[in-house]
Copies of this chain bind each other. A is one copy, B any other.
């Protein structure tokens, strides 16, 4: 019976047959396709659409995230804040650049489909990127369409921009209901 307990045994893992499917399974478990629509006075309409593909792990599994950086050749590791009181540091493999998403991440998951409900989020994530390629985020109606798509995405937690328990307590909260819809989405938990 194998009793090896070396968590850093990630060397050459990319060469294991079927490694692409390991990536799909890992992302089915821990991946996050997120769209946020946030206030940004510099943007034409006062709102910025942010897009991120990420996978988060605690420090002991950081080598697995480094494998993702090597495998995709885009993105980077960034330290993550914890919302719990756990002591272990968290790391996030993060891809934010739209070109990296469009030409690397999206084609990979089109060729190697996700299996869990994250597949639906991925589809909506693609739909938003597509709308942005058509410059929809620069028009009122396009921005509303993007907000409508993101509202259908699953959530792990409410955005820090909109807390339904205290909608007026946060200075970042927009005042119109439709603004709150735009800002309220953050991806989630399956």
Contacts and interface: CB of A to CB of B under 8 A. Distances in A.
A117 interface: yes
A190 B60 contact: yes
Given A25-B24, A28-B22, A29-B29, A154 B60 contact: yes
Contacts of A154: 60
Interface stretch (A126-134, A169-177, A178-186): A126-134
Nearest to A31: B29
A20 to B, nearest CB: 7
Given A57-B190, A119-B9, A126-B1, A19 B22 contact: no
B24 A57 contact: no
Contacts of A130: 1, 3
The A interface, classified by DSSP as helix, strand, loop or mixed, is helix
Contact of A22 (B10, B24, B61, B127): B24
A58 B190 contact: yes
A140 interface: no
Contacts of A5: 119-120, 123-124
A13 interface: yes
A3 to B, nearest CB: 5
A106 interface: yes
Interface stretch (A37-45, A72-80, A92-100, A108-116): A108-116
Contacts of A117: 7, 58, 60-61
Nearest to A18: B18
A189 B58 contact: yes
A23 interface: yes
A28 to B, nearest CB: 5
Contacts of A24: 22, 25
